[in-house]
Amino acid sequence: MARKPSKNATDELDFETTLAQLESIVHGLENGDLALEDALKEFERGIQLAQAGQQRLQQAEQRIQILLQKSESAELSDYQPNE
């Protein structure tokens, strides 16, 4: 019998956990203490976490846009991040 494709482990994490794990990976990579193969695995995991975090942010933005569109008293304007 064929196995069901498993969900990506990052799909189960909330945004804050995703960000904390990503920060931990970045710190570990910056230290330079990992063997090449381990560093590559961590980098790959970091990419997955970054993509999952970006997806969660986009979903949150869409929810906010919908809520603002439904609200008669709130004005809808584009978000301008402080850079």
27 domain-assigned: yes
What is the pLDDT at residue 11?
A: 75
What is the pLDDT at residue 67?
A: 85
Q: What is the pLDDT of residues 11-38, one digit of tens each?
A: 788 999 999 999 999 999 999 999 999 9
80 domain-assigned: no
d(CA 48, CA 52): 6
**Number of domains within the chain:** 1
Using the predicted structure, report yes or no on whether residue 6 has a pLDDT greater than 90: no
pTM of the model: 0.69
78 domain-assigned: no
46 domain-assigned: yes
75 domain-assigned: no
Residue 48: which domain range?
21-67
The secondary structure of 19-77 as a DSSP string is: HHHHHHHHHHHHHT-S-HHHHHHHHHHHHHHHHHHHHHHHHHHHHHHHHHHH-SSSPP-
Q: Which residue has the higher pLDDT, 70 or 52?
A: 52
